Amino acid sequence: MAKSKDQKKAAVSEYKDWIKASKAIYLVSPSSITPNEATKLKKELFTLDSQFNVIKNSLFKLALEEEGISLDESLFEGPNAAIFASDKMSEAAKVITKFIKDTEKATVKGGILDGKSIAKEQVEALASLPTREVLLAQVVGTMNAPVSGFVNVLAGTMRSFLYVLNALQAQKA
């Protein structure tokens, strides 16, 4: 069933809103994903403030052009789905790559990160990054290491001083 001109404009407008609200967009070829699998994937992505939608290539391409984003034409061959990711873009990439690995029913084609085109390999690299919380913990641990070392040195000096005092006390007794 053909869409009316108004429906197409509304779809382009909706795509533009999703593009503006997303930090990253991953394009996926959703070959033979069942409705139950799609629902499960959508729920998992929803917890990350991200969404999974099958897109109409011509309308999505038009929305991208209106937003000043250009992608390789090969990405628009065949059916596509888009994952619109918010701040938790690496976690969303992890979810989609795990889904693909588990079901073998889709392939990552590429994507957009901060308005720039990224390749399939870059999406997979994003998926391999630790979560934001883990990265912050690593930074704090690195910043804390010199302070911990200094405290240990001071504690060692105090411990040695106490050993000397105990030895003197034992010698006089």
pLDDT reported for residue 2: 57
Q: Do 27 and 73 sit in the same domain of this protein?
A: yes
Helix, strand, or coil (residue 52): strand
* Average confidence (pLDDT) over 53-79: 89
Q: Do 155 and 82 sit in the same domain of this protein?
A: no
Q: Do 12 and 92 sit in the same domain of this protein?
A: yes
User: For residue 70, what pLDDT band results from cuts at 50, 70 and 90?
Assistant: confident
Q: CA–CA distance from 74 to each of 55, 57, 63, 80 (Å)?
A: 15, 11, 17, 11
* Owning domain of residue 27: 5-129
Domain count, the chain: 2
Any alpha helices (H) in 56-172, and if so which ranges? Answer: 57-66, 89-103, 120-128, 132-172
* Average confidence (pLDDT) over 64-82: 88
* 38-42, 46-50, 128-132, 159-163: least confidently modelled range: 128-132
Q: Do 70 and 117 sit in the same domain of this protein?
A: yes
What's this model's pTM, rounded to 2 decimal places? 0.72
Q: Do 84 and 139 sit in the same domain of this protein?
A: no
The mean predicted confidence, pLDDT, of the chain is: 85
Q: Do 100 and 159 sit in the same domain of this protein?
A: no
Q: Do 83 and 15 sit in the same domain of this protein?
A: yes
Answer with the residue of higher pLDDT: 135 or 71: 71
Q: Do 74 and 139 sit in the same domain of this protein?
A: no
Q: Do 114 and 169 sit in the same domain of this protein?
A: no
The pLDDT tens digits of the residues spanning 85-107 come to 988 888 888 999 999 888 888 88
Q: Do 141 and 154 sit in the same domain of this protein?
A: yes
Q: CA–CA distance from 96 to each of 28, 83, 93, 124 (Å)?
A: 9, 8, 5, 10
* Average confidence (pLDDT) over 36-65: 91
- Please report, for the domain that includes residue 107, its CATH number: 3.30.70.1730
The pLDDT tens digits of the residues spanning 123-153 come to 888 887 777 777 777 777 777 777 777 777 7
Q: Do 107 and 152 sit in the same domain of this protein?
A: no
Q: Is the pLDDT of residue 84 over 90?
A: yes
Q: Do 103 and 147 sit in the same domain of this protein?
A: no
